[in-house]
Amino acid sequence: MAFLRSLIYGIRNLLRRTKRERDIADEIERYFEEAAAAQVEHGMTAEEARRTIRMEAGTMSSARAQANSYGWENSVSSFFSDLRFAARQLARHRAFTVTATLTLALGIGANAAIFTAIDSILLAPLPFNHADRLAVLGTRYSNTGRTTRRVTGPDGVDVRDQAKSLEAVSLMAGGEEGVQLRDHATYTEVTWVDENFPRVYSLQPIAGRLFSDAESHRSALVNEQFARNNFGSAQAALGQTVHIENEAIEIVGVLPGSFHEPGKTEVWEAFSLLPESKSRTAFNYRAVALLRESTSFQTAQTELNSLSQRLQTAYPEDNRNKQMVALPMTEALTGSARPTLMLLWGAVGIILLIACVNVTHLQLVRSMTRQREIAIRKALGSSRWQVMRPVLLESLLLAILGCAAGLLLALPAVRILIAMAPKELPRAGEIHLNGWVLAFTMAISVLTALVSSILPAMRAAKVAAADAMKQDASRGMERKGAARLRDGLVIAEIAATFVLAVAAALLLRTMSTLMTSDLGFETQRMLVVDADNPAHTDDDYRRMLRQFDEIFANLAAIPGVEHVAGVMGLPMGPYGSNGNYNTRGGLPVESHHAPEAIFSVASPEYFQTMGIPMLRGRDFNAQDAYDNPFVVVISQSVAKQSFGNIDPIGKQIQCGLDSDKWMTIVGVVGDIRQNSPAENPGPALYMPMKQHPAYANQIHIVLRTHVKPLTLINTVHSEIARANPLIAMRFTTMDSIVNESITAQRFRAALISLFAAAGLLLSMLGVYGTMAYTVAQRTFEIGIRMAFGANRAVILRAILRHAAILAGIGIAAGLVLSLLLARLVSAMLVGVQPMDPASLGGASLLLLLTAIAAASAPGWKATHINPLAALRAE
């Protein structure tokens, strides 16, 4: 209560300062009048009375000052007057203010932008109900330590039925599928889920209903967006029939537009609680689970451990070393983005540090020129705190300016970040500025203010009045300590920039490795069509194969098209299979160590179309039909690992793609990089489409063209639609598929290079500032030296050598830091070692040149000092 009253009084006085002062002055005047009147009553003359009162009560003005100084609001108003003083100072030194603000804005803006991404991706809770109880189930092999985020059907069912710590478990499968609507077909992500799925995610349909277990392969839920795009509204979608994999599916419910798990699913088709795959070694399903309330992941994992033990005992062959695991959903969804985001955060942290050092440096230079002012203040009795306060307040004001400018910078930066982000970046759509980001930005701004002003403020406090008055740097008497401090800051800056430059160099080298790596096939002028030809029955498959034959022939006849082929398992494409294989007539194989290969299914002319060299034997041809002996083409690595020096042609291979039939090797082709340019070329088996129809309906049609591939889209589209309008299509080029496969690396390389460039710019400013200041301070000294006949070259060399020495020390320090930090990025590098000498050397050279370039302007100025003018200056 008393506190509140004091607060109100104080605020009232702050707002009406003059009234309070007038009141007090008035009251004191009356007081003295009364006192005088009382003395006069005692028989004094008015003159005597005044003198007496003066002796006893002091002057009116000292009483006024004492009465006015009461109240907390006085410290506030003196704070404000200091603040006004600081603001005036900043306004007067405009160059300083603008440079410092922009420097801070760069550092703060970069941090705000990256933190926005980190906050939205890693820190914000997932936008699901009970997000902290959601888990992704996976399987870990305890012997190899490898974890897959998939489960086999029977294992998943056992976990669902037996784990008491899990409230609900849902198995699911799916991916990109063609969905046939009444008059057209569209490509989208379709996921088959069981009836537990909505329970795991606590989903309520916004229209219609959920499905039950009895509706397997008959009913589906769709996303609101999908309903709107294809039917006009959520209501209109209800009761509609779509075809997926040639099954008629009725839409029974619509889920909110914001929900599209897993991935970008738009259609959830019902499948049975009893999964079709009964194999305990085929990881055909993904599984999500909801932990029971107040059950920890640890408890759940403990239960899964004992459950896995039971399964290992019950199925010693299939479940050997198999361990079921429950990963928190947050980790499963965003864990992959963590290293990249942390790398970026580290980089912007360094930028902020460099910015702080630069501002510290600017402040120091300014405080040198202010030493006399401070000395005079001290001589007049200012306390340490009073001397430090203006410096701190100036920094605070700068930080506020920097914070505001930084946020302005962060807004577009975040947008650019999202636009640049690789497709795999989770939750990219959720990235936005919010209160937390604002709080973070303000916090780092205040921190920046403190960090960058602490040295200058301490120096101000240490100024000894007498010394400062004597010392005058413009006469070459600068204190040694001051120069050393500035040099130290420059060295720190260069070291930090060096680390960024090395990181950028390593990531750029990784990029160039990836972009120039020989993929084993040609990517230019190649149109890729995702084509999904619905098929279900044997008749469907026969029709589908016939249609594709016809389509390939028609497409090949289009002017500008060189070769056409179809493939399941396009390099860097969404489909593919792999597994073990056995050979007859090959090298002996250790048991439990069957060789592995990638399985692809292709039409004749595929190798020619892709530009994969046929090394031996022949391509597929029309004779390789379903009823004829099965054939296979192997890649060079298969030949090497399974046949050595034996000629593989005519030998036989068996693999578990879809049949156990032995296939005769008819050809050997070159190896390709299948999944990413970052991967090594490896073993692959190619099988003809006609002998594996189950894998031949969802394929990529590849066209090698003479012309720009995208110009053919319309012709190709109408040609395919003419054969079958229900084939869902999507077009792209091989170049862009390859490009997209390295977006994560490109994203990192581009951002880190950008940050390194920013760091370089700031360091350059730092070096330039130091050198320019030194030259300005030493004008007198240089003038004398020149008057005594010093050579211009000598003076220039001295200044450049100074810069080079600072750079050298900074680079050495940076080298040590890089050695310590290198292993953090090693996982992101391809084809280059963390201690790559070229990168380290390049960064060293770059920084050295930058430092010398930054010093050369002040150096040049120094050589043009006119000795006479310099000596006369003071």
* Strands 241-244 vs 147-148: parallel, antiparallel or unpaired: unpaired
Please state, in angstroms and rounded to a whole number, the distance separating the CA atoms of residues 309 and 798.
Answer: 75
Q: Which of 64, 149, 217, 542 binds another protein (CB under 8 A)?
A: 64
Nearest distance in Å: CB 69, another protein:
8
Quick one: 38 or 416, whose CB is closer to another protein? 38
- Which positions from 622 to 641 touch another protein by CB under 8 A, shown as an x/- string? --------------------
The residue within the footprint of another protein, chosen from 11, 33, 51, 213 (CB under 8 A), is 33
Torsion of CA 485, 489, 494, 496, to 10 degrees: 140
- Residue 414 near residue 117 (C-beta atoms within 8 A): yes
Q: How far is the CB of 68 from another protein (least distance, A)?
A: 9
User: Which residues 6+ apart lie within 8 Å of 482 measured at CB?
Assistant: 364, 368, 459, 473
Q: Which of 62, 78, 621, 736 binds another protein (CB under 8 A)?
A: 62
Instruction: Mark the segment that binds another protein (CB under 8 A) among 67-75, 151-159, 188-196, 368-376.
Output: 67-75
Amino acid at 582: N
Rounded least distance, CB 73 to another protein, Å:
11
14, 24, 798, 835: which one contacts another protein (CB under 8 A)?
A: 24
CB of 21 to another protein, least distance (A): 12
**Would you say 13 or 441 has its CB closer to another protein?**
13
CB of 67 to another protein, least distance (A): 4
Q: Judged by CB under 8 A, which of 44, 57, 400, 589 binds another protein? A: 57
| Candidate segments 1-9, 43-51, 629-637, 702-710, binder of another protein by CB under 8 A | 1-9
- Figure out which of the listed residues 49, 63, 102, 244 binds another protein, where binding follows CB under 8 A: 63
12 binds another protein, rule: CB under 8 A: no
Q: Is residue 34 a contact residue for another protein (CB under 8 A)?
A: yes
Which one-letter DSSP state was computed for residue 206? Answer: S
Count of chain residues binding another protein (CB under 8 A): 31
Please identify, using beta-carbon distances, which residue of 16 and 88 lies nearer to another protein.
16
Contact between 483 and another protein by CB under 8 A: the answer reads no
Name residue 664's beta-bridge partners.
631, 652
Q: Which is nearer to another protein, 49 or 760 (CB)?
A: 49
Comparison of 46 and 214: residue with beta carbon closer to another protein? 46
**Least distance (Å) between residue 37 CB and another protein:** 7
How many CA atoms does the CB half-sphere of 442 hold within 13 Å?
Answer: 5
In the block, residue with structure tokens 């160590």: 593
Residue with tokens 């046939």: 180
The residues with which 684 forms a beta bridge, in sequence order, are: 598
Residue 752, judged by CB atoms within 10 A of its CB (0-12, 13-18, 19+), counts as buried
Binding residue for another protein (CB under 8 A) from 40, 71, 218, 662?
71
Partner residues linked to 269 by β-bridges = 192, 220
SS3 readout for 308-353: HHHHHHHCCCCCCCEEEEEEEHHHHHHHHHHHHHHHHHHHHHHHHH
What does the block give as tokens for 638? 């298969």
Residue closest to 843 by CA, chosen among 870, 811, 801: 811
Where does this chain touch another protein (CB under 8 A) — which range of 21-29, 323-331, 665-673, 693-701?
21-29
Number of neighbours of residue 662 by Cβ within 10 angstroms: 16
**42 forms part of the interface with another protein (CB under 8 A):** no
- Minimum separation from the CB atom of position 383 to another protein (A): 22
Count of alpha carbons within 13 angstroms of residue 329, beta-carbon side: 24
CB contact at 8 A, 774 and 858 = yes
Residue 44 lies near another protein (rule: CB under 8 A): no
Based on the shown chain and the rule CB under 8 A, indicate whether residue 9 belongs to the binding site for another protein: yes
168 pairs with which residues across the strands?
290
Query: 410 in helix, strand or coil?
Result: helix
State the nearest-atom distance from the C-beta of 31 to another protein, in Å: 5
Tell me how far apart the alpha carbons of residues 310 and 297 are, in angstroms, rounded to a whole number. Answer: 20
> Which range in 3-11, 572-580, 587-595, 782-790 contacts another protein by CB under 8 A?
3-11
Interaction between residue 88 and another protein (CB under 8 A): no
- Residues contributing to the site for another protein (CB under 8 A): 1-2, 5-6, 9, 23-24, 26-28, 30-35, 37-38, 55-58, 62-67, 69-71
